[in-house]
Amino acid sequence: MTKTPAPLKPAATVLLVRNCDKPSDKLEVFMVVRHHQIDFASGALVFPGGKVDAGDLKAELVDHLPAGTDLEDPLLSFKIASIREAFEECHVLLARDKASGEMVKPAKIDELVEKYRREMQAGDIDILAMADAENLELATDLLAHYSHWITPVFMPKRFDTHFFIAMAPEEQLAFHDGEESVDSVWIGPNEAIQGAKDSKYTIIFPTMMNIEYLTRFNSAEEAVEKSGDTPTVTVLPEVEVTPEGKFLNIPAEADYSLTRRKIDPMMDPDQKKT
């Protein structure tokens, strides 16, 4: 009897990027280490993100979006979720003061974190409550659609995840929240790839593919610009069982560095958990 796949939960992830001048990389991305008790990718190095909440879908948010926003954009709630998750998880807020039109300043963000983050993370308030009270415009226009991955059908928990990329606001300092994430790092893509090879970092397949994709760009600005101009191909990895082991296959049209990779032990439903 074929098992019914677990339902998909909409989720959003954001790659905050900035320029650097390292021997191996010309740009770097902010990443966090997931708490070991988190039920997905625990202990792994990931981009900030999480599930789309009901509050991210509220119609009243239209009053807090940039002029000219396409209100029929199917990715709008995902963009709002990625802004909220970045605020909750790494204290970065992609938002403007509606009165001045300028990005929110670091001192103000510290105040907002102290005032709203815990309640928002607990689900007691939503991002609309903060935007209303603080007269904020959510800077969805700064987010470029980067990629789209759907969790394989054999996984017990499945997510329909849209990845976005944005320039990290220059004056804001990103750091982990100490709850969902227990460590954080600004890291170049080649540096992360080498760290995974050296077992310094645990990086799951979708994250690794999107890190590798960053190696194509010579600057953070180029990464954001070209990601926004490039059509996104949905990736739903399919499992292949061979005498050599289990592999995940992804479509060549997605334009990643490979189309087949041995399955990560943490993604294998038949792997014994210890």
Question: What pLDDT does residue 273 have?
Answer: 43
SS3 149: strand
Single out the residue of 46, 51, 56, 52 nearest to residue 15, CA to CA.
Answer: 46
For the chain, 274 residues long, give each residue's pLDDT as a single digit of tens: 457 889 999 999 999 999 999 899 999 999 988 644 444 444 689 999 999 999 999 999 999 999 999 999 999 999 999 999 999 988 899 999 999 999 999 899 999 999 999 999 999 999 999 999 999 999 999 999 999 999 999 899 999 999 999 999 886 666 544 454 457 889 999 999 999 999 888 898 999 999 999 999 999 999 999 999 989 999 999 999 999 889 999 999 999 999 999 887 666 656 544 3
* CATH of the structural domain 8-230, one choice from 3.40.1110.10, 2.60.40.3710, 3.90.79.10, 3.40.1190.20: 3.90.79.10
pLDDT digits (tens, 9 = 90+) for 57-66: 999 999 999 9
CA dist 172 and 110 (Å) reads: 10
Q: In the structure encoding, which two tokens stand for residue 96, read together? A: 């403007």
Where are the chain's structural domains? 8-230
Q: What is the pTM of this model?
A: 0.89
Based on DSSP, count helices (H) and strands (E) in the chain, helices before strands: 7, 13
Q: Which residues of 10-27 are buried (b: 16+ CB within 10 A; e: fewer)?
A: bbbbbbbbbbbeeeebbb
What letter would DSSP give residue 85? Answer: H
pLDDT digits (tens, 9 = 90+) for 120-152: 999 999 999 999 999 999 999 999 999 999 999
